[in-house]
Amino acid sequence: MHKDIATPIRTKEILEKHGFSFKKSLGQNFLIDPNILRNITDHAGLSKETAAIEIGPGIGALTEHLARTSGKVVAFEIDQRLIPILEDTLSPYDNVTIVNQDVLEADVASIIETELAGYEDIMVVANLPYYVTTPIILKLLMERLPIRGICVMLQKEVGDRISARPGTKAYGSLSIAIQYYTEAEMVMTVPKSVFMPQPNVDSAVIRLTKRSVPPVQVQDEDFLFTVSRASFAQRRKTILNNLTSQLPQGKEKKDLILEALSKAGVDPTRRGETLSIEEFGVLSDALLPDFKE
C-alpha cells in the first residue's frame, strides 16, 4: 500500500518537489484528510465493476482512492502544470487516465465511449472547483451521459440549494433543474480544516442518483426550466407577478398566464418557492401553447 497523498506532510512535499503554487482563479483547494476521501468513495458506492470520472484531480489525492476502489478512472484536469505531478503521484496505479481538458468544453460522451468501454456502472466522483460547480453538474446531467450518478464535494450553500425541498429558503430553480434528473441528498458536511489552502466557505458532499424517469412528464423540458427560473426571479413576488414580468410579452398576455395558473390549479398569489416540481410541470405544460417561441 502506498503512502496516502492526502496528508498535510505528503501534500507539502509533492508541491515543493514540483514547485507548485495554487491558482486562485482555478479554485484549487486540495484535500489533506484520507478519512474524508474514504467517506466520499464509500458514499459513491464503488467497486471494481465501476468506472469513475473525476473532475479537477489536483495532485491526485482523491484519484488515488478512486484507483484503489474502482476498475478504471478518467480524470479531467484543466491545469497543465498539474499533469506531470499527476504522472508522478499516480505512477503506482495503471488504471488511471488523465485528460488535460476543461470538462465544460470536453466531449465527455465520446471519452466515455473510448476510455470506459465495457463498464456498465459509471459514477462521477470529484472535489469540484467551487466557482464552476453548477455548470459542471448541469452539463453532466443535460448531456444524458450513461452514468449512475454524481457524488461530489462542493460549497455547502450550493449543496443546500441542490437538495432543497419546496417551501424552504434554499429551494429555487437550481433545486428543480437537478431534482428533475436526479434524487439529491446531502451525505456529509466537511470542515474547512481538511483543505490546503483552507477555503472561506463550508463544504459538503452531495450524492445525485439519476432517475430512470423524471418526477413529472412534460412536453418541453427547456420550457419547464424557463418557467421555474422566471418564477424565482424575485423571491418576494407572487408567481403571477414574476411570470408576467419575466415571460416574453408577459404583460400583454397576463390573462393567458392567469388562465394557465387556473388550469394548473395554482393560486396566482403563491410564491414560486411553494411549488413542487410536479406543480411546475403541470404549469409549464399549461403555459406552453401561448409562450413557446
Cell numbers 468501454 label which residue? 117
The domain locations on the chain are: 8-210, 221-291
The reply, when asked if residue 224 is annotated as ligand binding, is no
Per-residue pLDDT in tens (0 to 9) along the chain, 293 residues: 577 998 999 999 998 899 887 666 666 678 889 999 999 999 999 999 999 999 999 999 999 999 999 999 999 999 899 999 999 999 999 999 999 999 999 999 999 999 999 999 999 999 998 889 999 999 999 999 999 999 999 999 999 999 999 999 999 999 999 999 999 999 999 999 888 888 888 999 999 999 999 999 999 999 999 999 999 999 999 999 999 999 999 999 999 999 999 999 999 999 999 999 999 999 999 999 999 86
Residue 24 is predicted with a pLDDT of 62
The reply, when asked if residue 149 is annotated as ligand binding, is no
Residue 29 is predicted with a pLDDT of 79
The reply, when asked if residue 77 is annotated as ligand binding, is yes
d(CA 14, CA 10): 6
What CATH architecture is 221-291?
Orthogonal Bundle (1.10)
The reply, when asked if residue 127 is annotated as ligand binding, is yes
Alpha helix positions (H), the chain: 8-17, 34-44, 61-69, 83-89, 108-115, 133-142, 156-163, 173-181, 221-231, 239-246, 254-263, 277-291
CATH code of the domain occupying 8-210: 3.40.50.150
Of 203, 215, 205, 171, residue with least CA distance to 185:
205
Counted residue by residue, the chain has a size of 293
The reply, when asked if residue 242 is annotated as ligand binding, is no
User: What's the grid cell of residue 44?
Assistant: 459513491
Strand 149-155 with 203-210, pairing? antiparallel
d(CA 42, CA 193): 21
Residue 144 is predicted with a pLDDT of 92
The reply, when asked if residue 29 is annotated as ligand binding, is yes
Q: What is the 3-state secondary structure (H, E, C) of 103-117?
A: CCCCCHHHHHHHHCC
